[in-house]
Structure 1
Amino acid sequence: MLQPLVIGLGRSGSGLHLKTLVRLARRTAATGDPLVVLPAVGCDPCADALRPVGLPGEVTAVTTLEQALQHVDPATAVVHVCTPPRLRYDLLAELAGHGFRRMIVEKPLAASADELDALIRLRQETGLELMTVAHWITSRLAGRLRRLVSGGRLGPLRHITVDQHKPRFLRSLATDGHPSALDVEIPHSLALALDLAGPAELRSAHCWDLRCEDRGLPRLGGAHIELEHRSGVVTLLRSDLGAPVRQRSVVCEFEGGTATAHFPLSEDDDHAQLVIAPFDGGTAAPPAGILDADGVPGIGHHVFRDDALTDFLDGAYRGFVSGAGGVGNFPLACATARLLCAAREHCAVTSPARAGSR
């Protein structure tokens, strides 16, 4: 079994990782296959002011790494790095110096091409088992999209459009961890597009400012990225962080129809939806809402549970136990980070788009 150390107790570290780890520890213990050792340790300079997560004994909060080392053994720990992407290399190098080897890093993996190259060298030199959070990729919904792409039921994939919209005024005004909207939601959808359609080149990218009353936050209002994949697929990623409503949807356009995937919007409900419609209006076996023997979804409206982050962490910890942690995840994380770096460079030399542009 492995013990979590979560560094950075903001929304991601405390609201997502710690809560999910406690849930995963309870679930695997109840099935007689314990995977996560509690207490999980949360480390943040402001940890004393944060509301406790879990029951007494399930989470220990500390304010420094030195204090954390009194509660965890690097040899049996998994570090969750939930700090902002800027200057991430220094933290990972420090952790490696203390003997930590298993690490799960929040997206994006790096904030610049130079930092990414440095992280690749650090991983090679120290033997890090390094993963990035990629629960969209490992979700049940993404699995059904992959099987639809490979199964050919609707013909070849032609176009992907991803919409990730939500109002993010409060967090953007209160923190400065993300330099632009490219670093907030786009990394999830970018990785999914690469997973579904293969390697890609950047066609275009732009950001716009987030405006609220008399304040404006440069490049935090939203972002668009357009990609051209070597497979011939074209992808458009759209994220509006000033939107009045929340949306997490993926539309895959095939030669013979469409698949519209809706990811769960929040921790309030973990159900995903997938609507598959042929252009000719016909039907296809199996019946609507049913999977065939190969797991390819049939025509119709599918609704199913999809607790993607819990399943991702379950798979990540089992990979660490088996010694395969990060093997398949890291190349995709690097490809995603490089395209994000290219998009940042493109946006740095172009004028911001109009606020709220879609």
Structure 2
Amino acid sequence: MDRTLIIGLGRAGLGLHWAVLRKLRTAGRHTDLFDTAPVLTLDPPAPEAPARAEGLRPVASVAEARTLLDPEHTVVHLCTPPIARLGLLRELAAAGFRRIIVEKPLAVDRQSVREILALARRERLRLAIVAPWLASALTARLERLVQEGALGELRSIDIRQSKPRMSRTLTNGGHPTAFDVEPPHSLGVCLRLAGEASLAAAELTDMRIGDTTIPGMGRAELVFRHKEATSRIVSDLTAPVRERRVQLEFTDGRAVAHYPNGEDDHYAQLRFSRTGRPETWEVFPDDALSAYFVDTYRALRDGTDLEPQLRLGARVVELLADAKDATRRLGATDAHSPAGSGGRQVSHAG
């Protein structure tokens, strides 16, 4: 079984990674994977009280964590913003930590991806990119629909990812654009279902809250061409409601699916039918992030090849970089400006 070190105690580290790990450890069904010893956390800007209240043990540095952990039996969760990954990965590698789960996306530009991949090869890092949608029971069912061909050949994928994200956007500049928040999940699914893709179109808008404007953090739209299909992703971070909807069009049918919308209800829904036939409606459990952590801890323990997952995560970043380039050429918000300045650029009218 493995110890755990979580770096970054924001929404991802504390609200998602630790919340799921705590649930899995409490359930006691995977005692071969998760050590019951306290989880170590590293988040220098944050006060230690929240971590200690959760039963976590704060450390001040990677070097201190190394004195308390055996890297060969430790899984590191890297939950810092995607604009601040490479330096920490170098520090972890130098301390001997090799098994690392990286919060999505892997990076926010091509150069960072190339440097991370080169570091991983040089230091023999085993990197896993957080991809709960790819571990989702719903994605597995959609994949079966595509492979079995009961509805004909896949022709299009339409994904809607909407959620209000105003407060977090105002206070956290870790994601340079709306392309970097939700689309990394859905683009991975599009590549899984329809294969390799190239960018056909991209659109990016600012988030506006009263007189305040946050560049590039409003609505993102992406269109990709695959060999036999097209896919379209729309992500709106200013939407008043949450939605995670996927619609697949086949030559002889349709499937409409809904991923769970929150941590309080882990159920997915799937409706599908052949043209002119009655519709099948399924509702089933789909705790994707829990499944992802169980599968990934087991893969890290057993030496399973993680290279395909890493390549997919890198390809997602490359395609999103193409989208950022396209929106810049069209005169849209400079997708890289917030990252280049080290934080969120917010403008106020008047």
The answer to whether TM tops 0.5 is yes
Q: Which runs of 5+ in 2 are unaligned?
A: 334-350
Residue of structure 2 equivalent to 1:169: 166
The counterpart of 1:352, out of the listed 324, 332, 335, is 332
* Corresponding residue for residue 258 of structure 1: 254
Aligned equivalent of 2:195: 198
Indicate how the Cα distance of structure 1 residues 344 and 270 shifts in structure 2: closer, same or farther if over 3 A, else same.
Answer: same
Give the aligned partner of residue 68 of structure 1: 65
Amino acid at match of 2:236: D
Q: What whole-Å deviation, never above 9, does each CA across 1:224-260 have from its counterpart, x for those lacking one?
A: 1100012x21000000000010000111111111111
1:200 to partner: Cα distance:
0.3
Which deviations, in whole Å up to 9, do the C-alpha atoms of 1:269-297 show, x marking residues without a partner? 101111113221x14xxxxxxxxxxxxxx
The reply to whether residue 274 of structure 1 matches residue 273 of structure 2 is: no
Cα displacement (A) at 1:55: 5.6
Secondary structure at 2:47 match in 1: helix
Which residue matches 1:331?
A: 311
| 8 A contact 1:47–1:63 mirrored in 2 | no
Determine the C-alpha separation between the residues in 1 that align with 2:129 and 2:174. Answer: 17
Please name the residue that 1:135 is paired with. 132
The 1:53/1:34 distance shift into structure 2, 3 A limit, reads farther
* Local SS of the residue matching 1:84: coil
Aligned letter for 1:40?
V
1:33-48 matches, cutoff 5 A: 33-37=31-35, 38-48=37-47
* Matching residue of 2:244: 248
Matched residues in 2 for 1:33 and 1:341: separation?
A: 40
- How far did residue 47 of structure 1 move? 3.6
Counterparts of 2:314 and 2:272, CA distance in 1: 31
- Partner Cα distance (2:29, 2:236) in 1: 41
Find the residue that maps to 2:9 and give its secondary structure: coil
In structure 2, what is the Cα distance between the partners aligned to 1:91 and 1:175?
19
CA distance in 2, matches of 1:26, 1:337: 35
- Aligned counterparts of 1:96 and 1:46: Cα–Cα separation in 2: 22
Counterpart position of 2:17: 17
Cα deviation, residue 46, structure 1: 3.2
Give the superposed CA RMSD. 1.7
What is the CA distance between 1:19 and its match in structure 2?
A: 1.1
- Deviation, structure 1 residue 132: 0.3
Of the three residues 297, 301, 323, the one matched with 1:343 is 323
Which of 142, 146, 151 is residue 145 of structure 1 equivalent to? Answer: 142
Letter in 2 for 1:246: R
- Deviation of the 1:49 alpha carbon: 5.2
AA paired with 2:289?
L
- Answering whether residue 302 of structure 2 is matched by residue 304 of structure 1, we say no
Q: Equivalents in 2 of 1:319, 1:326: separation in Å?
A: 8
Shift of 1:120: 1.4
Structure 1: gaps spanning 5 or more residues? 284-298, 354-358
CA displacement at 1:63 relative to structure 2: 3.9
Amino acid at match of 1:2: D
- SS of residue in 1 equivalent to 2:188: helix
Q: Return the alpha-carbon distance in structure 2 between the equivalents of residues 31 and 49 of structure 1.
A: 30
Q: Does structure 2 retain, via aligned residues, the 8 Å contact 1:209–1:352?
A: no
Deviations 1:128-157 (A, max 9, x none): 111100110111000000000001110000
Query: C-alpha distance in 2, partners of 1:44/1:325?
Result: 30
Tell me the TM-score normalized by structure 2: 0.91
Corresponding residue number in structure 1 for 2:342: none
| Correspondence for 2:3 | 3
Aligned runs of 1:203-214 on 2, under 5 Å?
203-214=200-211
Q: Aligned to 1:219, what secondary structure does the other structure show?
A: coil
User: Number of paired residues?
Assistant: 332
Classify the secondary structure of the residue corresponding to 2:26.
Answer: helix
TM-score, normalised by the number of residues in structure 1: 0.89
Q: Determine if the alignment matches structure 1 residue 96 to structure 2 residue 93.
A: yes
Q: CA deviation at 1:74?
A: 1.5
Matched residues in 1 for 2:203 and 2:54: separation? 44
In structure 1, what is the Cα distance between the partners aligned to 2:30 and 2:89? 33
* 1:165-222 Cα distance to aligned partner (Å, 9 max, x none): 0010000001111110000001001111001100000011121000001100001012
- The question of 1:26 aligning with 2:26 is answered yes
Q: 1:50 to 1:256 in 2, by over 3 A?
A: farther
Which of 166, 174, 179 pairs up with 1:182?
179
Percent identity between the two aligned chains: 39
Deviation string, structure 1 residues 303-328 (Cα, Å, up to 9, x no partner) = 01110000000000000110115233
DSSP 3-state at the match of 2:244? strand
Equivalence for 1:292: none
Letter aligned with residue 15 of structure 1: G
Q: Which amino acid aligns with 1:236?
A: R
AA partner of residue 274 (structure 1): L
Pair 1:217 & 2:214 matched:
yes
Residue in structure 2 matched with residue 313 of structure 1 by the alignment: 293
Q: Distance in 2 between matches of 1:349 and 1:71?
A: 50
Q: Distance in 1 between matches of 2:248 and 2:129?
A: 25
Name the CA distance, whole Å, in 1 between partners of 2:16 and 2:53: 12
Match of 1:287 in 2: none
